[in-house]
Structure 1
Amino acid sequence: MATVHRWSGLEAHALRLALRMSVRAFAEHLGVAVRTVSKWDKLAAATEPRPDTQAILDTALARAEAAVHLRFETLLSETGRSLAPGPGQRVTASGPRVWDYESWTDDLDRTVVALSRQNFTFASSLLSRWINRWRPLELDDKGLYLFARSTALLGDLQRDQGAVLGPLSAQRSYAGARSLFTQLDIPRRVAQLDLSLAVVAEMSGKLEIAARRYETLAVDDRLSHRDRARARLWVGTALSKDGNHDYAARVMQAATREFESLAEPDDWSVAHQKLALAHRGAGDLTEALQLIDIARSSGTIDSPMQRVRLDTALAHILRSDPATQDEGMRLLDQADQVAAQYGLGHQLRSIQNIRRTCEGAFSPRGR
């Protein structure tokens, strides 16, 4: 029969369940306070009984029937504890427990919400508590999946903050997550990371490489219809940034129709925003203004990121016309303040680039 080298609330809780006792009955069985047993149940491995209580638990386990021992070992093995029979055998932690997985999953859901609101500090704290707690080699497939998801979300956080390249960057996090999902043989997740890495290539100025990757992913069956439509839209984005505005607009228009058929209003709105910038690049400011109005009146714009993107796009269009450049500057200043407030590094750099471009265009030499 297994013995416990050092008891924590986790093992004490498992023994109570194995004995099939209520909190009160277990407290009476051991001769401890009810609140002590409740504390073990609540804090699990985060708390340890006092030395004299450790001895009481040793005795309770030693005197238990064989069926209790079997249930005790089974409960601990299900929570990620390794057990082996024999005197003096230590019970050690080998990875996350059942409730760890539940908490981890809940925290990832909370991280997604925090990222959607650009609450980077909270999102970072949620991710760090899990990423820093285990190494991938310590995890089973379920833990590895959650670790990979956490790493991918860390990449999203770093990307939104503008940390695109380098040792602590979106590129590194996405590559790490992709490797783990490849190991787990989850093609859809691998393809999603390929799409994220293509975004990194675009953000770092590798426009031709990004466009080619997007084109490949736009017809990749590993991705959902929505993700393939996004890839097609982003082909147009990369082309437009590279100066190929007319062709980019045609590609984006096709993606816009797909979002309409998929009933994706937010993506449809983003597509109109990007279309507006392509028409601005082509010199058609009237069409650009009509498209950005559609983008601003549709979809969800309660996200600081999306507000900054829409205001920056409209400001870019307005700044392209001497008659509206002052209004555009006011809107650009507004976008700059929100971007700085929320730490949107990439958007801040985009705003700076727009300022330089427009100042050059309207300077005496630029005219």
Structure 2
Amino acid sequence: MISVQQWTGREASALRAALRMSTRTFAEHLGVALRTVAKWEKLGADTVPRPDTQAILDTALAHADMLARGRFEALLSRSMDGRAGRSPVRSADYETWTEDLDRAIVCLSRQNFSFASHLLNRWLGSHNPRALDDKGLYLYGRSLVLLGDLQRDQGATLGPLSAHHSYNTARSLFAELDIPRRVAQIELSLAVVDEMSGKLEMSARQYERLATDERLSGRDRARARLWVGTALSKNGNNGYAVKVMAAANHAFEDLAEPEDWSVAHQKIALAYRGAGDLTRALQYIDIARSTGTVDSPMQHVRLDTAHGHILLSDPATRDDGLSVLDDAAQVARQYGLSHQLRSIEGIRRSCDGPSAVLSR
């Protein structure tokens, strides 16, 4: 059996992974503080447990079953080998990587895609995920999700350099790490990509499944219900869509989520437009425009696109609708919001037809 001459955070983390325990369960198993295990995970080989804790770890390894000891040996050997093509990541690098992800989130909220892409690709391009430990793999997966968000917002939904590809790769990594909440969140994002790609029935089924998925938070389940209605509305089933989205709207109110509540009003307004009830459509879009709390180019474009679409549906306000859509298109071009721009162009083309393209 493999023995450990001196335990460091690296060996302790490998034992936790081999025992397939969470950090909290591992701390309880050893009888140490959770912050101690967190320190091992964070610092790896840069931290050495105290002598009494060394003995505790020796005992835990000795009491592990044969399969767990085999996994421990494989994990430790792989760690010491450095794996093929490994680029070692220091603790300080992990901290910088985490900070860059936080900065990328802010950039994406402002539609600063160029700098967000730079922040993400500096890590994705310099590391092989197969050469990373669990923490590195987690950060790599988060980076892929944010890259998928960026690609989705730019309208790149299909192909090898697309949101679909980035999300699928990230889903595989989080499944390997056994983090079901992250996996479910990515499945929700993949359903959004399917909806954007015109796969309305498929996306509606995915949303319905995720709306009751306990892996997701209450907010994400409410979003899934809202997006069921969005897909139904795009597919022409506006009456039922309003009922579904109204239920989601109540959930956002109960959860005290003002921004989601505002977005729900925007979606309901479009469903009423599709059903031919322009009076209610204008009421709901006015509420959405007056209550939105996120001041971003993307949300401005979405609101103006929805507002312009509704105004364009009434001959009396057609010119106003065209003006609002012109403003939305200008902002979409300025920030590279290709999907939104395509939606605006689709609305213009179909404004005289019996139905029109709705924008997400």
TM-score computed with the length of structure 1 as normaliser: 0.74
C-alpha distance in 2, partners of 1:163/1:83? 40
Question: Is contact 1:118–1:303 with CA below 8 Å preserved after alignment?
Answer: yes
Aligned runs of 1:271-350 on 2, under 5 Å? 271-350=264-343
Please state if 1:218 is matched with 2:211. yes
Extract structure 1 runs of 4+ deviating beyond 6 A: none
Alignment-mate amino acid for residue 337 of structure 1? Q
* Alignment correspondent of 1:176: 169
C-alpha distance in 1, partners of 2:294/2:193? 23
Of residues 35, 46, 49 in structure 2, which corresponds to 1:78?
46
Residues 284 and 76 of structure 1: is their aligned pair in 2 closer, same or farther, counting only changes over 3 Å?
closer
Secondary structure, counterpart of 1:354 in structure 2: helix
Aligned runs of 1:94-113 on 2, under 5 Å? 94-113=87-106
* Alignment correspondent of 2:119: 126
Aligned runs of 1:2-41 on 2, under 5 Å? none
**For structure 1, which segment, 343-352 or 295-304, has the greater mean C-alpha deviation from structure 2 after superposition?**
295-304
Residues 250 and 94 of structure 1: is their aligned pair in 2 closer, same or farther, counting only changes over 3 Å?
same
Alignment deviations for residues 270-317 of structure 1 (CA, whole Å, 9 cap, x no partner): 000000000000000000000000000112241000000000000000
Question: Is contact 1:245–1:282 with CA below 8 Å preserved after alignment?
Answer: yes
Alignment deviations for residues 307-337 of structure 1 (CA, whole Å, 9 cap, x no partner): 0000000000000000000000000000000
C-alpha distance in 2, partners of 1:143/1:301? 32
Structure 1 unaligned residues grouped into runs of 5+: 1-74, 85-91, 363-367
Alpha-carbon offset, residue 77 of structure 1:
3.6
Please state if 1:139 is matched with 2:139. no
Structure 2 unaligned residues grouped into runs of 5+: 1-42, 48-78, 356-360
* Alignment correspondent of 1:28: none
C-alpha distance in 1, partners of 2:294/2:280? 21
Aligned residues with identical type, % of pairs: 70
Alignment-mate amino acid for residue 150 of structure 1? S
Question: Is contact 2:269–2:285 with CA below 8 Å preserved after alignment?
Answer: yes
Question: Is contact 1:77–1:83 with CA below 8 Å preserved after alignment?
Answer: no
C-alpha distance in 2, partners of 1:172/1:76? 31
C-alpha distance in 2, partners of 1:286/1:183? 50
Alignment-mate amino acid for residue 272 of structure 1? H
C-alpha distance in 2, partners of 1:327/1:253? 28
Aligned runs of 1:230-269 on 2, under 5 Å? 230-269=223-262
Of residues 199, 213, 219 in structure 1, which corresponds to 2:192?
199
Alignment deviations for residues 182-219 of structure 1 (CA, whole Å, 9 cap, x no partner): 00000000000000000011000000000000000000
Alignment-mate amino acid for residue 354 of structure 1? I
Alignment-mate amino acid for residue 99 of structure 1? A
Alpha-carbon offset, residue 83 of structure 1:
7.6
Alpha-carbon offset, residue 78 of structure 1:
2.7
C-alpha distance in 1, partners of 2:252/2:192? 19
* Alignment correspondent of 1:189: 182
C-alpha distance in 1, partners of 2:46/2:109? 34
Secondary structure, counterpart of 2:316 in structure 1: coil
Question: Is contact 2:332–2:338 with CA below 8 Å preserved after alignment?
Answer: yes
Alignment-mate amino acid for residue 314 of structure 1? H
C-alpha distance in 1, partners of 2:333/2:238? 29
Residues paired across the two proteins, number: 281
C-alpha distance in 2, partners of 1:151/1:358? 38
Task: Kindly name which structure, 1 or 2, has the bigger radius of gyration based on alpha carbons.
Answer: 1
Question: Is contact 1:160–1:344 with CA below 8 Å preserved after alignment?
Answer: yes
Alpha-carbon offset, residue 94 of structure 1:
4.5
C-alpha distance in 1, partners of 2:276/2:220? 30
* Alignment correspondent of 1:152: 145
C-alpha distance in 2, partners of 1:323/1:200? 35
Alpha-carbon offset, residue 361 of structure 1:
6.0
Question: Is contact 2:86–2:128 with CA below 8 Å preserved after alignment?
Answer: no
Report the RMSD for the aligned CA atoms in angstroms: 2.1
C-alpha distance in 1, partners of 2:80/2:162? 40
Alpha-carbon offset, residue 244 of structure 1:
0.1
* Alignment correspondent of 2:11: none
C-alpha distance in 2, partners of 1:287/1:83? 65
Alignment-mate amino acid for residue 89 of structure 2? P
